[in-house]
């Protein structure tokens, strides 16, 4: 079971309290009437499905009921960070390896080596502190 850090509640909660809501950072066409059927279909139905770093939108459905984003490694299921809607991720596919070498971002904005997870680490853990 995952424990996911809610950036609004500022605490780890069990995975069952959350629900995935699809790919994050999708931009709706400004004027849907002006796009072709093919472009509209691409917007509605096609999503990235990478092996590796992926940004997903989730909702804390049994808690604060707010939507937020998760940066997750789809190959390992590792949650690298959570962040509020409207914010940009600090971890991207381009800088993920560098970030792993540096460590993980903690809830207070600092960085911690991956091998030693602090109690406020933004990574998922088996048992929250």
pLDDT, residue 104, reads 59
DSSP 8-state symbol, 17: G
> Across the 129 residues of the chain, what is the mean pLDDT of every consecutive 10-residue run?
92 96 93 93 90 95 97 90 94 76 57 46 48
Burial (CB count <10 Å: 0-12, 13-18, 19+), residue 21: middle
Superfamily of domain 3-112: Folate-binding superfamily (3.30.2270.10)
Domain boundaries, the chain: 3-112
pLDDT, residue 115, reads 42
pLDDT, residue 96, reads 74
Q: Following CA atoms 75, 76, 81, 82 in sequence, which dihedral angle do they give, to the nearest 10 degrees?
A: 80
């Amino acid at each position: 079971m995952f424990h996911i850090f809610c950036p609004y509640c500022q605490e780890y909660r069990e995975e069952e309290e959350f629900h995935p809501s699809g790919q994050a950072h999708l931009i709706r066409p400004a004027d849907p009437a002006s796009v072709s059927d093919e472009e509209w279909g691409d917007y509605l139905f096609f999503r990235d499905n990478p092996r590796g770093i992926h940004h997903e939108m989730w909702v804390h459905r049994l808690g604060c009921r707010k939507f937020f984003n998760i940066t997750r490694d789809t190959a390992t299921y590792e949650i690298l960070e959570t962040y509020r809607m409207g914010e940009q991720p600090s971890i991207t596919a381009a800088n993920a390896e560098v970030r792993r070498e540096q460590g993980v971002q903690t809830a207070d904005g600092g960085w911690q080596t991956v091998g030693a997870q602090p109690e406020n680490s933004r990574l998922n853990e088996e048992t929250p502190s």
